Structure 1
Amino acid sequence: MKKLILVSLLSLACSSAVMAQNGPNPYKDCGIGAALFASTPWAAVTSNVIWDVGTTAVISATASPETCSGSEYATAVFINETYESLEQNFVQGEGQFIDTLSSIMSCDTDSSTALTQEVREMMIDQDNTDKTRLEKAENMYLNIMGTQAAKSCSTNV
């Protein structure tokens, strides 16, 4: 068993070195690890390897490397890391977390205002009581990216 794990890790390391020349490093820039530990590369690598021996990270880096970085990725990470505060800002209709989110998404003032309104309306209509925190953050991301206002920000251009 130990040999299998060692061989898997060496294989992952080699493919990581090759992919680093051609795009994002799948173990630190992609997958579940990168989403959870964006600013801690060693934790992202560890998480990706422990989760599924890095398979998801490698697939995402190979099939769609653009999902491993950029403003959409930064938007998802920001929502995941600040979900509770961001949710509170949307309830209030303003706040520094909405301002930061709008900045990450490169929204102008009008788009940011429209985004806030659209997301607030969606939040009123949704019942998230039976969802985990991660599911709530994912729903918020999907809702935000699906708004008309987000389409006018440069994230989706």
Structure 2
Amino acid sequence: MKKLSCAAVAAVAMLSAPQANANINPWQDCGIGAMIFEDNGVAAAISNLIWDLGTTAITSATVSEDTCKGSIIAKATYINENYEQIETDLAIGEGQHLNAMLDMFAPANRDEVVAELRKSIQLDAQQPTVKKAEALYMKTQALVVAG
């Protein structure tokens, strides 16, 4: 009976929720629930409601919409898995992998971001790729936010 009540509360909350973006349901697509249950919106909504009554989910949808549906994880994973190709593209100043990364971040000042990234790319062969990928992610995110 408790599960049915929680599901009913979640359904009512989802239907009556104000949304930052018409395509985003904060209880299903944002917050801790969406990070844990990426492919199960109902489980994500219930998790968000149980965790903190959905406040984290709503806050992330309102304040930082790009954290919804795991876009942070998707960006970081893409950079980590394609770091060498992105590094090569940055050395050239253009390329498919660099463009895909920039499409994920969607900077308003794309050319400036590329120029700054080219200056700051870490070419240290001794440093692990994961560390270089993390540095690239952090630098790109900082440049986009500074925009």
TM-score normalized with structure 2 length? 0.59
1:11 — aligned with what? Answer: 9
Partner Cα separation in structure 2 for residue 123 and residue 139 of structure 1: 12
1:59 and 2:55 matched: yes
Gap regions ≥5 residues in structure 2: none
1:79 — aligned with what? Answer: 75
1:68 and 2:65 matched: yes
User: Do 1:27 and 1:33's aligned partners in 2 also have CA atoms closer than 8 Å?
Assistant: yes
Cα deviation code 1:119-153 (max 9, x no counterpart): x3298796577x9xxxx98776444323xxx1xx4
Aligned residue pairs total 137
TM-score normalized with structure 1 length? 0.56
Partner Cα separation in structure 1 for residue 102 and residue 19 of structure 2: 30
1:30 — aligned with what? Answer: 30
Tell me the C-alpha RMSD between the 2 structures: 4.3
Gap regions ≥5 residues in structure 1: none
1:97 — aligned with what? Answer: 97
- Computing the radius of gyration over CA atoms, which structure comes out larger, 1 or 2? 2
Partner Cα separation in structure 1 for residue 122 and residue 137 of structure 2: 15
Cα deviation code 1:30-70 (max 9, x no counterpart): 124546887xxxx2514524755563692234334132348
Which one of 118, 141, 146 corresponds to residue 145 of structure 1? 141
Partner Cα separation in structure 2 for residue 102 and residue 122 of structure 1: 20
Report sequence identity in percent. 17
Map 1:107-122 to 2 at 5 A.
107-118=109-120, 120-121=121-122
